[in-house]
């Protein structure tokens, strides 16, 4: 099958002319495997490359025009003000190309408002300035997008992903980077994993969790508009690729963060997304879904080599890295339950969040946090302050029971849990331990010790977050008898990284 159908010389000449695009400076060009973006002044013009691949057909001008129109339709709501419309490129009577003329259609472009490339989240990642706050807002934005996405019942959840695996296998066949044996081995591992997850995937499809999603949700396709993270450049050319389980959509971002060396942020996005959505049942799917996404990047990168060569070898190295990551993500990791206890201000949540990315299968452990569960039980956002009555003993009893129940469900799916709570009552510590014992899963209890003065200082200066603890609450905790604590006791006056290193030694 031919990869490149046309050289599109006429359209490229028009789009490379600064005068035609209304600018004075030379036109800048950005190329991907299926598009070219021309930057001129305050505008960007995105052209579909005339290619035909197993997953996309832009072989005619009419198909490219239809894809441009669909791109504007789908992306407009998630990136307001960014997509300005579609421009037809025609060949006029004088033989020259023009925008929106009366002649024969030869191509089409999406016209967009130009923004600084430094506002793309992949550029922010490369600059080392991704923050937990930005990624928390990103996770919540994606959760809202998925909640509004159209539910699709075009086939079972497992059948849907089987189609994605077929596309991946066909994609690898278009390149010479990977030999048949290694592709076959990886495909067999994927099919085995798909078989294990079939029931869960099908149940999620029946529950309405397969939707018309973004389809290409990685860091480069998220930008800051007016300071807020926004999705753009979704898959418009193949509904099968974009009609997926919402967690498969999310998995591209998680894989991208993991691949770039931000496991802590991948874990943060996972936990904040699951906190805000009804997707706990799919947590065990994430390593498998991330592996598929890595395989997608491997074969797409390999396709670029088939098109334009790779003199430096960098593309082959990149494709190989994604291929290896896909295989690694399919490996099994034994589950365990780690409980982090300590009084308010001891640093439990900070330690739990630093630890979670380093235990269990990627993207790390599910954090079961008492503060967030208490807020969820009261139907309010995690940052909303609750009245004192929400902390009565019977409410706290319900919170700790809920924690143990949730931990048990996750352990039953062979995934790791980090439980974060005060745990200053012996029955609460026994209950969380029992959750691990009942599922024959290793348990590690950690108690964070720190002086009252340090805890008072930390609680007094705390701003935001899910904890409602005050100095008065801490004072009451200090007066209570926590009983005999048999968990590993660690000095919590140190840096979180030092505490995590000690926990991993126990682990």
Question: Using CA atoms, how far apart are residues 149 and 144, in angstroms rounded to an integer?
Answer: 9
Q: Do 352 and 363 touch, CB atoms closer than 8 A?
A: no
Radius of gyration of the chain (CA): 26
Identify the DSSP state of 463: -
How far apart CA 156 and CA 151 sit, in angstroms, is: 13
End-to-end CA distance of the chain: 51
Kindly give the pairing relationship between strand 488-491 and strand 443-449. parallel
The kind and range of the H/E element at 248 are helix 246-259
Window from 42-46, 290-294, 317-321, 503-507 with minimum mean pLDDT:
503-507
DSSP 107-152: EEEEEEE---GGGBHHHHHHTT---HHHHHHHHHHHHHHHHHSPB-
Break the chain into its structural domains and give their ranges.
Answer: 9-114, 121-329, 337-506
Comparing CA positions, the residue from 253, 249, 250, 260 lying closest to residue 321 is 260
Give the residue, 82 or 481, on which the prediction is more confident.
82
Residues 376, 378, 380, 381, CA torsion sign: negative
pLDDT at 23: 67
Range with lowest mean pLDDT among 152-161, 348-357, 486-495: 152-161
Q: Is 16 exposed, middle or buried (0-12, 13-18, 19+ CB in 10 A)?
A: middle
The sign of the torsion formed by the CA atoms of 241, 247, 252, 253 equals positive
How does the average pLDDT of the chain come out, rounded?
92
How many Å separate Cα 279 from the centre of its chain?
A: 14
pLDDT value, residue 156:
76
pLDDT band at 24, cuts 50/70/90?
low
- Do 372 and 399 meet the contact criterion of CB atoms below 8 Å apart? no
- Do 189 and 331 form a contact (C-beta atoms < 8 A)? no
Q: What's 8's DSSP letter? A: -
Q: In 38-54, which positions are buried (b, 16+ CB within 10 angstroms) versus exposed (e)?
A: bbbeeebbbbbbbbebb
In percent, how much of the chain has pLDDT > 90? 72
* Fold type of domain 337-506: Rossmann fold (3.40.50)
Q: What is the pLDDT of residues 55-93, one digit of tens each?
A: 789 999 999 999 999 999 999 999 999 999 999 999 999
Residue 208 CA, distance from chain mean position: 20
Burial bucket for residue 292 (CB in 10 Å: 0-12, 13-18, 19+): buried
Q: Is 15 helix (H, G, I), strand (E, B) or coil?
A: helix
121-329 folds as Aminoglycoside 3'-phosphotransferase; Chain: A, domain 2 (3.90.1200)
Q: What are 213-272's pLDDT values in tens digits? A: 999 999 999 999 999 999 999 999 988 889 999 999 999 999 999 999 999 999 999 999
What is the rounded average pLDDT of the residues 84-113? Answer: 94
Mean pLDDT to the nearest integer, 396-405? 95
DSSP string covering 383-397: TSPPPGGGGSHHHHH
Bridge-based pairing of strands 366-369 and 417-420 is parallel
How far apart, in whole angstroms, are the C-alpha atoms of residue 243 and residue 114? 29
Residue 189: pLDDT over 70: yes
Give the SS3 label for residue 330: coil
pLDDT for the residue numbered 3: 59
Please tell me the distance from the alpha carbon of residue 353 to that of residue 333, in angstroms, as a whole number.
Answer: 19
- Return d(Cα 333, Cα 299) in angstroms, integer: 26
How would residue 1 be classed by pLDDT, with cut points 50, 70 and 90?
A: very low
371/382 Cα distance (integer angstroms): 8
| Residue 66: alpha-carbon gap to chain centroid | 29
**CB contact at 8 A, 435 and 338:** no
pTM of the predicted structure, to 2 decimals: 0.91
Average pLDDT of the residues in 408-413: 96
Reference 304, options 97, 1, 8, 3; nearest CA is 3
pLDDT number for residue 199: 96
Give residue 147's pLDDT band: very low, low, confident or very high (50, 70, 90).
very high
Q: Are 229 and 119 in contact (CB under 8 A)?
A: no
For residue range 263-295, list pLDDT tens digits in order: 999 999 999 999 999 999 999 999 999 999 999
Q: Which residues pair with 490 in a beta bridge?
A: 448
Nearest of 237, 74, 69, 82 to residue 149 by alpha carbon: 74
| Residue count (the chain) | 507
507 versus 120: the higher-pLDDT residue is 120
Q: How much of the chain, in percent, has pLDDT values that exceed 70?
A: 98
Q: Look at residue 456 in the predicted model and tell me its pLDDT.
A: 85
The answer to whether residue 128 scores a pLDDT higher than 60 is: yes
Is the pLDDT at 141 greater than 70, yes or no? yes
Of 487, 507, 191, 199, the C-alpha closest to 334 is 507
pLDDT at 507 over 80: no
**pLDDT at residue number 2:** 44
């Amino acid at each position: 099958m031919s990869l490149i159908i046309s050289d599109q010389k006429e359209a490229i000449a028009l789009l490379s002319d600064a005068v035609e695009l209304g600018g004075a400076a030379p036109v800048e060009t950005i190329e991907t495997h299926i598009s070219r973006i021309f930057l001129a002044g305050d505008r960007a013009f995105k052209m579909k490359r005339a290619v035909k691949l197993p997953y996309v057909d832009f072989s005619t001008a009419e198909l490219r025009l239809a894809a441009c129109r669909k791109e504007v339709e789908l992306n407009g709501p998630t990136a307001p003000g960014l997509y300005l419309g579609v421009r037809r490129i025609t060949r006029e009577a004088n033989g020259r190309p023009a925008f929106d003329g009366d002649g024969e259609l030869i191509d089409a472009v999406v016209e967009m408002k130009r923004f600084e490339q430094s506002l793309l989240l992949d550029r922010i990642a490369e600059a080392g300035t991704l923050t937990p706050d930005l990624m928390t807002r990103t996770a919540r934005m994606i959760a809202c997008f998925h909640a509004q996405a159209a539910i699709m019942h075009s086939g079972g959840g497992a059948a849907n992903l089987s189609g994605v695996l077929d596309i991946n296998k066909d994609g690898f066949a278009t390149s010479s980077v990977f030999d048949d044996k290694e592709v076959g081995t990886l495909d067999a591992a994927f099919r085995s994993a798909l078989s294990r997850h079939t029931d869960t995937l099908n149940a999620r499809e029946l529950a309405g969790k397969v939707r018309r999603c973004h389809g290409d949700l990685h860091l480069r396709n998220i930008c800051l508009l007016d300071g807020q993270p926004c999705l753009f450049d979704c898959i418009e050319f193949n509904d099968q690729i974009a009609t997926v389980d919402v967690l498969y959509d999310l998995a591209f971002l998680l894989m991208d963060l993991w691949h770039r060396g931000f496991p802590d942020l991948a874990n943060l996005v996972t936990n904040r997304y699951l906190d805000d959505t009804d997707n706990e049942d799919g947590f065990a799917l994430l390593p498998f879904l991330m592996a598929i996404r890595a395989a997608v990047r491997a074969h797409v990168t390999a396709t670029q080599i088939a098109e334009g060569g790779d003199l430096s070898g960098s593309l082959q190295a990149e494709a190989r890295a994604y291929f290896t990551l896909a295989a690694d993500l399919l490996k099994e990791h034994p589950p365990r339950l780690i409980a982090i206890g300590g009084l308010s201000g001891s640093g439990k949540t900070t330690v739990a969040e630093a630890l979670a990315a380093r235990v269990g299968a990627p993207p790390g452990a599910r954090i079961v946090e008492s503060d967030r569960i208490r807020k969820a039980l009261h139907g309010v956002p995690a940052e909303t302050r609750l009245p004192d009555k929400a902390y009565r003993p019977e409410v706290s009893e319900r919170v700790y029971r809920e924690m143990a129940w949730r931990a048990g469900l996750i352990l039953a799916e062979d995934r790791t849990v980090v439980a974060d709570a005060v745990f200053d009552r012996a029955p609460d510590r026994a209950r969380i331990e029992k959750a691990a014992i009942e599922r024959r899963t290793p348990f590690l209890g950690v108690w964070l010790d720190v002086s009252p003065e340090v805890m008072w200082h930390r609680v007094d200066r705390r701003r935001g977050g899910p904890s409602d603890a005050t100095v008065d609450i801490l004072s009451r905790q200090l007066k209570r008898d926590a009983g005999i604590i048999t968990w590993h006791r660690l000095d919590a006056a140190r840096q979180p990284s030092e505490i995590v290193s000690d926990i991993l030694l126990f682990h």
